[in-house]
Structure 1
């Protein structure tokens, strides 16, 4: 898995490896870098992450990070204080740690880990990726394994260590969100049409199912209106 400069990238409008999900370019997510200097797009269809800078009211491409064919990058989240970003892939069920060079506007790959436990080899698609406000823990949802993966973050290296995999309390956890206090987490299980509430231990990162579930038809997103 390599990050390459924009002049070497040739798949911006090409086809990815997976015929069903990567038949064409499919920008699935975009966000500003924490310093607001660059815009990052995540393209599930072409297995690429692209960085743009704003110049005279327009976007100029700075760098393209190309992942292995069939990765299917879906979402990205930045560390709150360290120069790292974390990409969750939909198709390969991986979490890719990237180091951000905020001067050049480029990424380099630090680590790739599975979003699944070692014993699981059935169908899965990565869903959502979120972090705790202090950046100590990272969470991902697995659609198929129907779990929330919990990872401890090494602030100095940016690397991840799996802590636990908690059942999502339903089927196909499309999205989830931590509440503003960081003490609770709500999972939206799309196929079982329910929202499930978990208590979060802020010291260990572990989740406890509070057995509070409400019916919501095919939920796909959870957001708090006030942070």
Structure 2
């Protein structure tokens, strides 16, 4: 999501304050080079690890990834976001992801394995309590990571008719409906390969394909998506790393993004500290691993691509930086172009 506030494009970088992060960093974006220049920081809530913008781009929302779990809103009127009211508890532990949909903020709560909907007021601020909390249930075969549900991501589908949540603990993706009253109603649960540990999902810009990045077995699950009846159907898997992908304990994929033109998808893998380039065929069902390149730091937790498809950004948590890359338009391979310090960086988005 890229736009402009005033005459200058901005990026917002989330971080873990418990690990030395500065909260939410605001940075100017050079439209020609993709370079980031930090303008300031806002540290009013602990561990604002994931961020989302309102459709109008004038309000920023952040999870507070703590055991209590909360979400905060910020008005964007200058270089420093201004908090709009007190943080609102989400009724779940350790929210790791946030999305804005149909007058609500949605959070995926990893610690409690649930999804929350918090209503928005007309001015973009948060209502004082959630309108719905949907608990997940189930387990998986991994003895440490899958003893219970761990919702890792929540997002609307491209049609806007459905809410999709990805659960690492239950090896499944849930499709829900968000009612006008803010209740999350389960529609169906889609099982993925046991032990794969699905983490994040990205839709193809065409809207009828989805790609689920698995954290515990470094692969992408390719799915078809039918918005008419909310049906997600797994049809295959593709490796995101060369060589064996299961069981080495040193590869933890974190994020997946699809090129705006639908020709490539990129994934980040912590431990290996690489960005993988997968080329997509015309129907989007057979991703091919084309290359891996260093992420420019250590422990890449998040990736973001600008709307033009020219630049890719990696938020490297443990090295404390955001690195940007120029993307080769023919091959999709990113070339490192620079970086900016961002301690305990966990997320980067654009206005």
Q: What's the TM-score, normalizing by structure 2?
A: 0.57
> Structure 1 CA distance, aligned partners of 2:207 and 2:180?
29
Match of 2:211 in 1: 86
Question: In the TM superposition, what is the alpha-carbon distance from 1:39 to its structure 2 partner?
Answer: 1.0
Q: Larger deviation: 162-171 or 51-60?
A: 51-60
C-alpha contact (below 8 Å) 1:26/1:43 kept by paired residues: yes
Matched, 1:167 2:294: yes
Matched, 1:105 2:230: yes
Instruction: Find the partner of 1:43 among 163, 167, 171.
Output: 167
C-alpha contact (below 8 Å) 1:124/1:142 kept by paired residues: yes
Match of 1:4 in 2: none
Question: In the TM superposition, what is the alpha-carbon distance from 1:40 to its structure 2 partner?
Answer: 0.8
Match of 2:26 in 1: none
Where does 1:151-166 land on structure 2 (aligned, <5 Å)? 151-166=278-293
Question: In the TM superposition, what is the alpha-carbon distance from 1:66 to its structure 2 partner?
Answer: 0.9
C-alpha contact (below 8 Å) 2:277/2:290 kept by paired residues: yes
Q: Larger deviation: 12-21 or 142-151?
A: 12-21
Match of 1:203 in 2: 330
> Structure 1 CA distance, aligned partners of 2:318 and 2:270?
10
Match of 2:82 in 1: none
Instruction: Find the partner of 2:317 among 190, 195, 206.
Output: 190
Match of 1:95 in 2: 220
- SS of match in other structure, 1:222: strand
Match of 2:202 in 1: 77
Instruction: Find the partner of 2:258 among 131, 134, 143.
Output: 131
> Structure 1 CA distance, aligned partners of 2:193 and 2:275?
24
Unaligned 5+ segments in structure 1 are: 1-11
Question: In the TM superposition, what is the alpha-carbon distance from 1:97 to its structure 2 partner?
Answer: 0.6
Question: In the TM superposition, what is the alpha-carbon distance from 1:21 to its structure 2 partner?
Answer: 2.1
Question: In the TM superposition, what is the alpha-carbon distance from 1:53 to its structure 2 partner?
Answer: 2.6
Matched, 1:115 2:230: no
C-alpha contact (below 8 Å) 2:293/2:334 kept by paired residues: yes
Higher relative contact order (CA 8 A, sep 6+): 2
> Structure 1 CA distance, aligned partners of 2:286 and 2:245?
22
Post-superposition CA distance 1:76-100 (Å, at most 9, x none): 0101114100000111111001001
How many residue pairs get aligned? The number is 213
Post-superposition CA distance 1:94-140 (Å, at most 9, x none): 10010012222111112201111126774110111011111111000
Match of 1:66 in 2: 191
Match of 2:95 in 1: none
Match of 2:342 in 1: 216
Match of 2:146 in 1: 22
> Structure 2 CA distance, aligned partners of 1:207 and 1:158?
22
Distance 1:147 1:53, change over 3 A: same
Distance 1:157 1:219, change over 3 A: closer
Distance 1:69 1:41, change over 3 A: same
Match of 1:145 in 2: 272
Q: What's the TM-score, normalizing by structure 1?
A: 0.87
C-alpha contact (below 8 Å) 1:82/1:155 kept by paired residues: no
Kindly name which structure, 1 or 2, has the bigger radius of gyration based on alpha carbons: 2
Unaligned 5+ segments in structure 2 are: 1-135
Question: In the TM superposition, what is the alpha-carbon distance from 1:36 to its structure 2 partner?
Answer: 0.8
Match of 1:52 in 2: 176
Distance 1:82 1:223, change over 3 A: closer
C-alpha contact (below 8 Å) 1:137/1:205 kept by paired residues: yes
> Structure 1 CA distance, aligned partners of 2:147 and 2:221?
23
